[in-house]
Amino acid sequence: MKYCWTTINVKNMDTSVDFYSTIIGLPLVRRFKSPTGLEIAFLGSGDTQVELLFDPQVTSVDFGSDISLGFEVDSLDTITKTLSEYAIPVHSGPFKPNPTIQFIYILDPNGVKIQFVEHIR
């Protein structure tokens, strides 16, 4: 068995694709509409991807507060500067649970918690 993707129902496909490609750095692999009108986009490199779904019939998207997507970064300072340039606030952190790791959380355009993790060497 292999982990393939994480699916996120989004409020706006263009805004979400822009966020995950520009801020997170995931390349857009493919984007299409299903025969039922559902818009689907896959982003990522390697075996694991993020799948974004936009259903024009859905009026609200709800996410639990106990799930986050984690992305390793080379430098927390660098990603914090990038976030500032795009006016994306830090949701919480920085946290340093031990001497070798630190992280922050932000929210994506849909309210999903995103964690940026730096391993300190």
Structural domain boundaries in the chain = 1-60, 63-121
* 78 has pLDDT over 90: yes
* 63 has pLDDT over 90: no
CA 44 to chain centre: 10
Average pLDDT over residues 42-49: 92
Domain spanning 1-60 has what CATH number? 3.10.180.10
CATH classification of 63-121, choosing from 3.80.10.10, 1.10.940.10, 3.10.180.10, 3.40.50.300? 3.10.180.10
Which are the contacts of 100, defined by CB distance < 8 A and separation ≥ 6?
119, 120, 121
Q: What is the pLDDT of residue 46?
A: 85
Identify the band that residue 59 occupies on the pLDDT scale cut at 50, 70 and 90.
Answer: confident
Fold agreement between 1-60 and 63-121: yes
